[in-house]
Amino acid sequence: MFKKYICTMCGYVGYPVKKSKGSFLVEIGLWLCFGLPGLIYTLWRLTSSYDACPECKNPSMIPVDSPMGKRLLETLNEDKL
């Protein structure tokens, strides 16, 4: 089973999404106009991808079962009471 995560910025609990830096349209433009820069840009986008929160889009997701994740969950549960 997949491990759940919590966002340290907004408190979202769930699974992160993969995000890539840069722009897809720029990538297509570079491929169409210039071959080698398009390849370099594509490789940079692939290597700079990160897991982001689906709610706030920040790269601040941590596992729920980590010490900090447990503290955040406790804080969220206390706020709901």
pLDDT tens for each residue of 50-71: 989 999 999 989 999 999 998 9
**Banded pLDDT at 81 (limits 50, 70, 90):** low
Q: How high is the pLDDT of residue 80? A: 63
Q: Are 77 and 17 in contact (CB under 8 A)?
A: no
More confident site: 2 or 43:
43
**Amino acid of residue 18:** K
Residue 56 burial (CB count, 10 A)? 12
Written as six digits, the tokens of 52 are 């982001």
3-class secondary structure, 25: helix
Q: How high is the pLDDT of residue 41? A: 93
pLDDT at 1 over 60: no
pTM comes to: 0.69
